Structures are given as C-alpha cells and as structure tokens.
Chain A
Amino acid sequence: TQLLEQSPQFLSIQEGENLTVYCNSSSVFSSLQWYRQEPGEGPVLLVTVVTGGEVKKLKRLTFQFGDARKDSSLHITAAQPGDTGLYLCAGAGRHGNEKLTFGTGTRLTIIP
C-alpha cells in the first residue's frame, strides 16, 4: 500500500512569514501533484511535478520533487491570508492518474 505522510499536520503562522510543507513516502511515484482545498470545496490542482529533482515555481509557491521521486516539498514565501487552506499532495502510480494516492494533508492558517 502506498502511503504519503505530510508534515506538519497543522501550521499557523503570521502573514509575511515563510513556511515549508513536506510530503514523504517510501514508495516511488511517476508524478506528484499538490492541491489546495478550501472549506466546502473540492481540491484544486496547483502543480504537477514529474522528474526527480524537478523544481516548479508558481508565484510565491515553490514545489520540489525529490531525486528518488519519493518525496516532495512546498515552500511558500511571504505567506498571505489568501494562502489559508488544506494543502494535499497526491502521488500517481505508473499508470498515471488511474489512482491518485493522497497525503494526510496540512491545514495552513495565515494570521493577518
């Protein structure tokens, strides 16, 4: 069974601070996705990383895929209240999105 552990589970920081969320597994994934989910809504895809060691930037968000494609990190610079939400990583097996394995989630709260 493929498992994805995210840390921290909860994170509450002041506006303007930086933070990093981690997503770790003992399994290798063909790709890894990061989603953000807000209350009462479904997850929304932020980014997909495919190549080991790949780094992608989305404005103030930086995503990295581990060299062995078992782990990933999400770094947010100068966090803003609009970044508040549940961040989920999800790994795809060798068949792509046939079955996404989601992480346990990190609930982020940015305090104005």
Chain B
Amino acid sequence: ETGVTQSPTHLIKTRGQQVTLRCSSQSGHNTVSWYQQALGQGPQFIFQYYREEENGRGNFPPRFSGLQFPNYSSELNVNALELDDSALYLCASSPIRTGELFFGEGSRLTVL
C-alpha cells in the first residue's frame, strides 16, 4: 500500500511568484486535506477536497486554491506569494470524509 506522497519536498520562491504543490493520496482514499505548518507551530487547516469538490475551508485568502483530480490526487496553488507563506505544507488523505488522516512528509516552501 502506497502512502501519501508530496512533491516537491523543498522549494524556494521569491515574493510575488506562484507555486503549485502536489499530493498523491493513499490508495483507496477519496478525501484530501491541506494544512500549513509554520515553524514552531501546529498545522493550520487550509481546505479539504472530497470527490473533486472543496469541502470546507480554513481562514486563508483566495490566493490559496486547490484542485482534486478523478484519481483523488490533489494540488495546492498559491498566487502572489508573501514572505509569511514560508512554511511546511502538509497534505493528508483519509478513506472517508471523517476518517483517520494520513499525512505526507510535506513540502517545505521558502519565500524570499
């Protein structure tokens, strides 16, 4: 059974640029959630996708957007990057909407 995989693992961008992060959910999981974890803090919920539809969103501006594909993989897009967007972005999949979350190792984004 393949776990949750994220890419890229590390990346550096400059302020104002755009970034796309990718997540492959664990086999059999149809729900994907994205979290932002700033250094020294707990993860903050960005949004969740279930069957290709956004199913709940945290307190993040519209420049944070996402997609879920028919194979349940997902993308997180962030436009107009700001310095405070520097963080570890975690993807988590679950077998059903309210199931246990399985996290990937994260994508560490640094904005200069």
Which positions in A face B, CB cutoff 8 Å? 1, 4, 6, 40-45, 48, 88, 90, 92, 95-105
Contact = CB atoms under 8 A, between A and B. Distances in A.
Contact of A104 (B42, B56, B103): B42
Nearest to A106: B42
Interface of B: 4, 33, 35, 40-45, 48, 55-56, 58-59, 90, 92, 94, 97-106
Contacts of B48: 98-99
Contact of B4 (A4, A42, A95): A42
> Taking chain A's interface residues, is the majority helix, strand, or loop, or is none over half, making it mixed?
strand
> Taking chain B's interface residues, is the majority helix, strand, or loop, or is none over half, making it mixed?
loop
Given A42-B4, A42-B92, A42-B104, A98 B97 contact: yes
What are the 8 tightest A-B residue pairs by CB atom distance, in nearest-first order? A96-B98, A42-B103, A102-B42, A98-B56, A102-B43, A99-B45, A105-B42, A97-B98
Contacts of A44: 103
A105 B42 CA distance: 6
A45 B105 contact: no
Nearest to A100: B45
B55 A98 contact: yes
Contact of B58 (A48, A99, A104, A105): A99
